[in-house]
Amino acid sequence: MVMLQRCILKKCLQQFYLGNQETTKSLLSAGFTPARLGGHRAAGHRSKSSVPDVRERTLIAVKPDGVQRRLVGQIIQRFEQRGFKLVGLKMLQASDDLLSQHYCELRTKPFYPRLLHYMTSGPVVAMVWEGHKVVQTSRTMVGHTNPVEAQAGTIRGDFSFHVSRNVVHASDSPEGAQREIQLWFQRKELLNWDCCDQTMTCEV
Ligand code: DAT
Ligand code: MG
């Protein structure tokens, strides 16, 4: 019996990591708890949506100036209000190593040493948001890289005035988002969960 259970559990984990929700569902109904199927699913809350666009994810980070200026709550509120789903959140002191990977395309830029100094000057609040076209929409919500060019109503347009202190990071493409999410978060730190307003915000 124990062998059989182990065998089913192994198969389930394989399917689970391959994203086969149906197998996981049937094993859940057979009495395997979400915790046994992989700790990163919130107990009792499994995300039903299988539409790829709806499950798009992006990395948003409140940079050290945003944290110091106590803007974290207002920034989170904008993404919540827009209807996106928070699936990962943590505060951390970013290391040089993490940032050099995160900003690998900017390593040769003259401002890079100052960027690194700024980004390590205090804690960062990193988040993963999920939803339909969340990458593109959040870039619009965040605004132009240079706050001088950012529209009023965007986060940078409302809270910042200089490119070297632009308050928030947002991934610039779905591929970039995937790369960045893997850099900043472990798989188990991201939760799949269903919002109670799921039919309004997720099943579009
Ligand atoms: P974004 O953050 O809008 O994706 P980016 O990826 O081109 O912009 O640059 C990353 C960060 O580097 C940016 O948010 C702020 C900083 N930065 C970019 N250009 C800069 C410049 N000319 N001087 C100082 N910092 C700059
Ligand atoms: Mg960028």
Q: Determine the topology of domain 49-202 in CATH.
A: Alpha-Beta Plaits (3.30.70)
Q: Whose CA is nearest to atom 20 of ligand 1?
A: 163
Angle between helix 134-142 and helix 174-184 axes, rounded to 10 deg: 80
Residue 180: band (very low, low, confident or very high) from pLDDT cuts 50, 70, 90: very high
* 63 annotated binding-site participant: yes
Q: What global pTM score does this model have? A: 0.79
33-37, 68-72, 85-89, 123-127: lowest mean pLDDT where? 33-37
pLDDT per residue over 110-135, tens digit each? 999 999 999 999 999 999 999 999 99
Could you give the C-alpha distances from 98 to 6, 43, 103, 111, 201, in angstroms and in order?
37, 31, 9, 17, 33
Identify the residue with better confidence: 77 or 202: 77
pLDDT per residue over 17-38, tens digit each? 333 343 333 433 433 333 333 3
Ligand 1 pocket, residue 169 CB under 6 Å: yes
**Is pLDDT of 14 > 70?**
no
Residue keyed to tokens 């009023």: 152
Q: Which two tokens stand for residue 181?
A: 């999410």
Angle between helix 134-142 and helix 72-82 axes, rounded to 10 deg: 130
Cβ neighbours for 119, distance < 8 A, ≥ 6 positions apart: 63, 64, 94, 99, 103
**Is pLDDT of 101 > 80?**
yes
Ligand 1 pocket, residue 115 CB under 6 Å: yes
H helix intervals, 39-154: 64-68, 72-82, 96-102, 112-119, 134-142
Average pLDDT over residues 164-172: 98
- How far is ligand 2, taken at its centre, from the CA of residue 124, in Å? 16
Catalytic residues, by residue number, are 169
Q: Residue 32: what pLDDT?
A: 35
Ligand 1 pocket, residue 166 CB under 6 Å: yes
**Is pLDDT of 137 > 60?**
yes
